[in-house]
Amino acid sequence: MANWFKNIPQAAVEYLDGKRLDEVECVISDLPGIARGKAVPAKKFDRQDFFHLPDSIFYQTITGDWADAADEDGWIEKDMTLKPDLSTASAAPWTGDWTLQVIHDAYDRDGSPIPYSPRNVLRRVVDLYRAKGWEPVVAPEMEFYLVDRNTDPRREIRPMMGRSGRPAAARQAYSMTAVDEFGPVIDDIYDFAEAQGFEIDGITQEGGAGQLEINLLHGDPIKLADEVFYFKRLIREAAMRHDCFATFMAKPIADEPGSAMHIHHSVIDIETGENIFSGPQGGETDAFYHFIAGLQTHLPAGLAVMAPYVNSYRRYVKEQAAPINLEWARDNRTTGIRIPLSSPAARRVENRIAGMDCNPYLGIAVSLACGYLGLTREERPRRQFKGNAYDGDGDIPQVMGQALDLFDEAHELRDVLGEEFARVYATVKRAEYEEFLQVISPWEREHLLLNA
């Protein structure tokens, strides 16, 4: 085996035990979270320390078009240097041969991190925490739908057929019978996750027809973002093996709940190893309230990143399991910021705003950045909300254009994330939004053609 095998995770070593590695997929996340890169023969990977891709991969919209986001050098598609992080080496167990995936980091010709590479954006925010003596900890929850194969964009998305031969039913939250309907797909998800060395904390049926949730154990933000990045691919591959699609759209089916990526946050004092949200006697600290305030104050401007598409805003509907405001409360799932039941050592803050359609690196980065601003500025939250938050008014943007306007004006948040990232991201998202506005919808044709 090559020398680099000494530095890969044990799960990857066990996956290849007694096998000959055929190929290595060298991957990196673009802004939407699509895996870009190259597949190379294993022998070539043995000999290479890096490879090149043009920086224009970060200027692409979700449709594959390019936004005018190049820097002052102009549209010359400069080569980036992509270097492997061998700690991310992971099996690709759905392939026909023995293949590993390895996530790479992007650098410019001077060796500096590319500021708009999503993994670098998250690392920048994590490093800001560490410079203060803090270690951020996150635990993402992933919601998604298993749906009938859909190759015609004009046709509405329908739930998949279960083992019983009937379409998946709605309003069956936490039903074990409903989970059993997807048994073969879930079996493959578990098998793929085990081969990749990922530990699933649990799979549950959510409220939508064919909607599932996977919880991951808490840990390092970059490692967890890597896992979500990998999970979205493995879940899609598992679904296609069983003649269905997995979708991470925020709102794929009308009148059904949307899919979120809830993010649980805690922060550890590096010197003491203690949770800074809890005091010596187990009480809630000022830092706990500062973090909540940071989310309340800055998340509206960060919504353009955590709700990155026009479809994302269809999720924020009253009584549809998604928040409509940024109230906070203890053990209350109607608020945008929830404090789960926990021991003082495990005290945490749950951000329920982010959609599952967001890039996991960027969604986690923005959530952490808002909390960081609250901590460093010692901001104070509004009073804890009592009752059903759906009875209150919404205080988050309702459309993509409004969210982008807030993001453009959020100088403190943009500074934490990196101004060059913010410039490129906003440019790409404006291009996507303008393209969407050129599309005439069936609703418009039905109601305006002869009536307007």
Contacts of 415 (CB under 8 A, 6+ apart): none
Collapsing DSSP to helix, strand or coil, 95 comes out as coil
Q: List, for residues 83-115, the tens digit of each pLDDT value.
A: 999 999 999 999 989 999 999 999 999 999 999
Q: From the CB of residue 33, how many other CB atoms can be counted at a distance below 10 Å?
A: 22
Reported pTM:
0.94
pLDDT at 439 over 80: yes
More confident residue, 41 or 77: 41
User: What is the Cα–Cα distance from 91 to 100, expressed in whole angstroms?
Assistant: 5
pLDDT at 174 over 60: no
- Mean pLDDT value across residues 270-296: 96
Q: Contacts from 146-155 at CB under 8 Å and sequence distance 24+?
A: 146/182, 146/185, 146/210, 146/212, 146/239, 146/244, 146/245, 146/246, 147/210, 147/244, 147/245, 147/246, 147/247, 147/252, 147/253, 148/244, 148/245, 149/243, 149/244, 149/245, 150/245, 154/442
List C-alpha distances in Å: 356 to 198, 216, 228, 245.
Answer: 19, 14, 10, 15
Return the CATH superfamily for domain 125-446: Glutamine synthetase/guanido kinase, catalytic domain (3.30.590.10)
Is the CA virtual torsion 93, 95, 101, 106 positive or negative?
negative
Q: List, for residues 319-371, the tens digit of each pLDDT value.
A: 777 899 999 999 999 999 999 999 999 999 999 999 999 999 999 999 999 99
pLDDT at 234 over 60: yes
Select the CATH number that applies to the domain covering 3-114 from these four: 3.40.50.300, 3.10.20.70, 3.40.50.2300, 1.10.760.10.
Answer: 3.10.20.70
User: What is the Cα–Cα distance from 445 to 447, expressed in whole angstroms?
Assistant: 6
Q: Do domains 3-114 and 125-446 have the same CATH topology?
A: no
The predicted structure's pLDDT at residue 182: 80
Q: Break the chain into its structural domains and give their ranges.
A: 3-114, 125-446
- 241 φ, ψ to 5°? -65, -20
Alpha carbon 406 to chain centroid, angstroms: 21
The predicted structure's pLDDT at residue 393: 77
